[in-house]
Amino acid sequence: MKTLANCNAVDFLTQTNKIRKAVAKWLTDTDIMNIRKHLPPAPALKEGMEQDEVDKVMAEHQKALQAQSKQNMMDMLDAVLDEHPMETLEILGMVCFLEPKEIEKVRGIELLNAGMDALTDPEVLRFFTSLVSVSRTITSMQSAK
């Protein structure tokens, strides 16, 4: 199956730009960026607390953070798999150069495996990581103005 990991240079550039646009919409539709920001309330530290009390409060907060992280992951999976499965499949299909109408003809596990193989390819991963870095740099420069 043709993927980002094994396509030619022109196909790679044009397809990654299509994916960039689709992912921007997908992030908005699924609300993933906000879901991942959900945090438990900050710990209530009071002036004059003994160190062992502070340690206990902080340990409880750490447990709450871990529980919230797990819940956030479940909420994100619900958003991408239950609430927006077609949009998620469309992006996976794009990684494998499949049009939306072709996606239904492919076994789910085949699409998932090919997509994940492409997205975890070191060169593809490095490309997307560098795009994120450039995007952050541009955003920081624009914010500084």
pTM as predicted:
0.79
Indicate whether 3 belongs to any domain: no
Give the pLDDT band of residue 129 (cuts 50, 70, 90). Answer: confident
Q: Domain limits at 41? A: 9-144
pLDDT of residue 138: 73
Q: Using CA atoms, how far apart are residues 14 and 33, in angstroms rounded to an integer?
A: 25
**Is 141 a residue whose pLDDT tops 80?**
no
Indicate whether 118 belongs to any domain: yes
- Pick from 115, 106, 91: which is nearest to 30 by CA? 91
At 82-113, the pLDDT tens digits run: 999 999 999 999 999 999 999 999 999 999 99
Indicate whether 2 belongs to any domain: no
DSSP assigned state of 42 = P
The number of distinct structural domains making up the chain is 1
